[in-house]
Structure 1
Amino acid sequence: MRNFTIIVLIFSFTKTINAQIVIAKPNLGFTQACASPTFNTYNVTFSFSPEAGLSATNQFIVELSDASGSFTNATTVFTSPQGAVTVSPAALSFSLPTTTAGEAYKVRIKSTAPVATSPTSSEFAAYYKIQDTPFTINNLIETGAYCLGGSYLLTIDNPGTGSNDSPLQYPSLTFNWYRETSPTTSVFVASGNTLAVTEAGTYFVETNYGSCTSNSFSNRVTISQASSGAMSSINSSLGNPYCSGEGSTTLSTINGDSHQWFKDGTAISGATNQTYITNEAGTYSVTIDLGNCVTNATIDLENNGFTSSIDVSDTNVLNEGDTLMANITTDATNPEFEWYLNDVIIPSATGSSYEVTQTGNYKVVINQTSGCISSNEFLFAVTEAFPNVTNIPNLISPNGDGINDTWVIPQQYVAGTNTEVIILSSQGKMVLKTTDYQNNWPENQIDFKDINPVYYYIITTQNNQTKKGSITVVK
């Protein structure tokens, strides 16, 4: 019985030895890990022994430390399938979490069957560059100023103008501010989302990706101490010159206690904000009150759109048998013309002139097809001439036969003469009141409750002359 016990103990001891492995320190296939949305694969190699000690269900795990190298709250960045790795040495690949940022990361390898853990790797810098494009500060205004004893606040634009990819959209990122010491050198100033500048100089900020190089940096802003006559600058959101066809541009300047904008030397009423929106070229300036001092800024705003004009009025009268020639004058580059009648394009009308032969609502669109792609348009209406009558009629017959269907009065009382026309029912109810009579009453069918109803009119001219009378309506 004693010999049997010894054999069982030896068998158990041998099985325990076979169920253990040793994993060596992992070797990194990189010196630093600078990941991004377009690249995030890193290799690590390691050896283990004995190979026969692995269970068929074993998995190898790659764990990533925190930024200080601690594995207290380690992150699993790779797990191999069961039984996939059986030969030593082995290589595994992993990807960095998007929040990775630091200079002292480490990795280690663990196995599951049997359970074993390697020593930690050498430390390495690792950053996930979630934002890696240039961005703007100070609304792209190139200068700023502060009063003696004060400061000027630089901020990262969020979101900023146009397609600015503000890094403030990513809460995990941190930022380092620098002051230039030469065109190619700079010194670190402070960290944070903003910087209160108290020393004149040129400043910029970079996303903190440590020793990893990146394109996540801002424009430069030159800050000065304001004094008598000190000047700042104005930025145009659409550039300068800007394309007026793209709409209005926003002029912006540095922040201050108050602002007053001017155009060509004249104060713009109500323009007292940090920004001013315009679609007109000219010389714009702004006075900025910084509290204890005042600074100014100016910009000669130009646009590279085009100008056009048309030689017809908004409303035109066409006599029977007559035509109206409409002509466009423009300085557009390679212009193209589109003419419309009642919102339907006129296929044959492609020139700068068009001969109008019928009434309706017209539109012409001028397209500049080179350089600043933009358009201008003009609208005008053409109506029939009012019938030339000399007397005010007192009888109409709105039966649709085209004869005496509406109340037509002399031209000195119709639209364009500022004459007031009032029509009342026999009960005194006002059925029409206008200073733009179109010789078109009644526009709607009259309900004949009475035989040949009678209406009354009052015509008052611009010089207060009055005409009164009655209108009998017959079927």
Structure 2
Amino acid sequence: MQKTTILKALFFGICLLTFLSTEKSNAQIVIGTPNLGFSQACASESFNTYNTTFVFSPESALSASNQFIIEMSDADGSFSDPTIVFTSNAGEVTTSPATLSFSLPETTSGEGYRIRIKSTAPVATSSGSATFAAYYKAQDSPFTINNLVSTGAYCTGGSYLLTIDNPGTGSNDSPLNYPSLTFNWYKETGPTTSVFVAQGNSLEVTEEGTYFVETNYGTCTSNSFSNRVTISEATSGEANASIVSSLGNPFCPDQGMTTLSTIGGNSYQWYKDGNIIPDATEQMYQTNESGVFSVQVDLGSCEASGSIDLVSESFTSTIDVPEENTMEEGETLWVSLTTTAIDPEFQWYFNNNLIAGATEDSYQATAYGDYRVVISQTSGCIVSSEFLFSISAPIEQFPDVANIPNLISPNGDGVNDTWVIPPQYVSGTNAEVIIMTNQGKVVLQTNDYQNNWPENQLDFKSINPVYYYIITIPNQKPKKGSITVVK
């Protein structure tokens, strides 16, 4: 009897467990429509987190392995091919209501997105949320069109093509570097109003007016817009071709070359100060010089021209000594500078070593060697220039030599560069000096020899050419001999 009772109890327990297990496996939950914690989602690299809150019931029906998933529709609100934007960890969300966060994909762009919530254990899906505008703003800064040139022109019956610059000039962040973006072109109708014209990376203009383009971020306010360009029709056969300097005008040359850009056309020719610049036949021209630059643009059946008075913010300076100087032993050489630099600073160097305390616009040099002075403009355009000069001992023009040399080496090393003869034959002695080639051609004939032959570079047709000299002093026997010239 006792054994039968035990068996009945065991059987009842097994049945109860089976029933409970079946009920658990057949459990269902209902997920409410998600509420949005935002009105529109305008994401960017710096911000891309959005919240949604939903309820579900009953809490007890959730399996320990359950995950909640957020799916996002396409831009038209369809879930035919949804995008998963969030998945919770297994068993992480157990109480209702629940709030989850998600991020937009970088390709998001549209006005009619929705989200919905799904669970995995048990499987359930909510209805779709209210629609919302959502855009991922991959680029959100001003950019340039028409090379930042503010005008354009077309011939009667023609058109002008406006394009987004890529890469453009300077720090221009071209939106063309982001393939997912699209663009809307507008024409101004008033100081603060405009009308939509077309979509695309470029716009072919056939009507006069002022145009600009914006990255298509819909209702998400954006800083991704272009400069304005005013297009005119060249009814008189001649139009204005504006010119823009990429570094501004005046420009700072230490930033490199500035790029001059003009309106678009079929061909171009640039000029500087009225003179044609050879090979300058592109829409853009680079320079680091000041001057009046002009351009002729062929628009097809008409032409355009323009000019710009380009000013470099560099400065001018002068130094009052030549590059090479001589100074007697114990003397000094005062060196002075003048400059138009703003708030100038001066640094003096001797044999490439900075001279301590030498910071004025003049310096008293006392030693033989190589000098350098650097002038720096410290306000506005930060730029510098330098001068080089050297000081050496004077060369004795008429040294007391005993013999007439028969060899010279005019190589510029300061040693034996010229034919130096004894004092009794040089300037002031009334001695006639004649120097001839080996063919008898006279290359020098003077009664006032300065120990300076050859003054010009000789033509070395042979390895070591030989010249002949005749020195004649009144009432004395002439001196004759040869001079061999070596390199």
TM-score w.r.t. structure 2 length? 0.80
Matches of 2:299 and 2:306, distance apart in 1: 13
55 and 418 in structure 1: CA distance in 2 versus 1, 3 angstrom threshold: same
Q: Is 1:418 the equivalent of 2:456?
A: yes
8 A Cα contact 1:393 1:407, kept in partner: no
Work out whether 1:292 is the aligned partner of 2:295.
no
With over 3 angstroms needed to count, the CA separation of the structure-2 counterparts of 1:81 and 1:261, relative to structure 1, is same
1:231 aligns with 2:240: yes
Structure 1 counterpart SS, 2:240: coil
Instruction: Give the match for residue 214 of structure 1.
Output: 222
Alignment partner of 1:268 is 2:277: yes
Q: What SS does structure 2 have at the residue aligned with 1:86?
A: coil
Q: Which residue of 2 aligns with 1:463?
A: none
Aligned AA (2:74) = D
1:79-98 mapped onto 2 (5 Å cutoff): 79-98=87-106
CA distance in 2 between partners of 1:386 and 1:209 (Å): 79
Aligned to 1:14, what secondary structure does the other structure show? Answer: helix
Say whether 1:349 aligns with 2:353. no
What are the superposed Cα offsets for residues 298-352 of structure 1, whole Å, 9 maximum, x if unpaired? Answer: 2122233322112222333445454433221112121111112232222232111
The alpha-carbon distance between structure 1 residues 253 and 458, as it changes in their structure 2 partners (threshold 3 A), is farther
The one-letter code of the counterpart of 1:262 is Y
Written as runs of structure 1 = structure 2, the 5 A alignment for 1:304-383 is 304-383=313-392
Q: 1:459 to 1:20 in 2, by over 3 A?
A: farther
Name the structure 2 match of 1:125: 133
Residues 398 and 451, structure 2, Cα contact 8 Å, conserved in 1: no
Contact 1:421/1:457 (CA < 8 Å) preserved in 2? no
Q: Kindly state the Cα deviation for residue 33 of structure 1 after the two structures are TM-superposed.
A: 0.6
Counterpart amino acid of residue 418 in structure 1: N
Q: Give, in angstroms, the shift of residue 47 of structure 1.
A: 1.0
In structure 2, stretches of 5+ residues that fail to align are 1-7, 409-413, 421-449, 470-480
Q: CA deviation at 1:99?
A: 1.3
Partner of 2:167: 159
Gapped runs of 5+ residues in structure 1? Answer: 397-403, 431-455, 461-466
CA distance in 1, matches of 2:485, 2:117: 104
Deviations, residues 247-305 of structure 1 (Å, cap 9, x unaligned): 33221111222222223333334332222222332322211111111011121222333
1:116 paired residue among 124, 134, 139: 124
- Match of 1:304, SS state, is coil
8 Å contact 1:257–1:290 — kept in the other structure?
Answer: yes
The answer on whether the counterparts of 1:284 and 1:300 sit within 8 Å (CA) in structure 2 is yes
For 2:179, the aligned partner's letter is P
Alignment-mate amino acid for residue 393 of structure 1: P
Residue of structure 1 in register with 2:107 after alignment: 99
How has the CA–CA distance of structure 1 residues 407 and 238 changed in structure 2, closer, same or farther, with 3 Å as cutoff?
Answer: closer
Q: Which residue identity does 1:469 align to in structure 2?
A: I
Equivalences, count: 427
Letter in 2 for 1:256: G
Given residue 213 of structure 1, which amino acid in structure 2 is its aligned partner? T
For residue 405 of structure 2, the aligned residue among 370, 393, 402 is 393
Kindly report which structure 2 residues correspond to 1:21-100, keeping only aligned pairs within 5 A, or say none.
21-100=29-108
RMSD: 3.1
2:24 alignment partner, SS class: helix
In structure 2, how many angstroms separate the alpha carbons of the residues matched to 1:357 and 1:135?
A: 58
C-alpha separation in 1, matches of 2:266 and 2:374? 45
Larger radius of gyration: 2
User: Per-residue deviation at 1:11?
Assistant: 5.4
Partner SS for 1:287: strand
Q: Is the contact between residue 393 and residue 471 of structure 1 (CA under 8 Å) also seen in structure 2?
A: no
Quote the Cα distance in structure 1 between the aligned partners of 2:138 and 2:456.
Answer: 67
Judged with a 3 Å threshold, the aligned counterparts in structure 2 of structure 1 residues 250 and 388 are, in CA distance, closer, same or farther, namely: same
Match of 2:200 in 1: 192
SS, match of residue 230 in structure 1: strand
Q: What amino acid does structure 2 have at the position aligned with 1:376?
A: S
Q: Deviations over 1:75-134 (max 9, x none)?
A: 221111221211111111111111111111111111111121111112211000111111
The AA in structure 1 aligned to 2:244 is: N
Equivalent residue number for residue 146 of structure 1: 154
Residue type at the aligned position of 1:223: I
Q: Which letter maps to 2:120? A: T
Structure 1 range deviating more: 268-277 or 79-88: 268-277
CA distance in 2, matches of 1:187, 1:459: 93
Give the distance between the partners of 2:418 and 2:347, measured in 1 at CA: 36
TM-score w.r.t. structure 1 length?
0.82
Q: Which amino acid in structure 2 is aligned with residue 420 of structure 1?
A: L
Percent identity over the alignment is 60
Q: Distance in 2 between matches of 1:183 and 1:29?
A: 37
Task: Give 1:109's aligned amino acid.
Answer: I
Structure 2 residue aligned with 1:256: 265
Whether contact under 8 Å (2:316, 2:340) holds in the other structure is yes
Specify the SS of the correspondent of 1:420. Answer: coil
Q: Give 1:201's aligned amino acid.
A: G
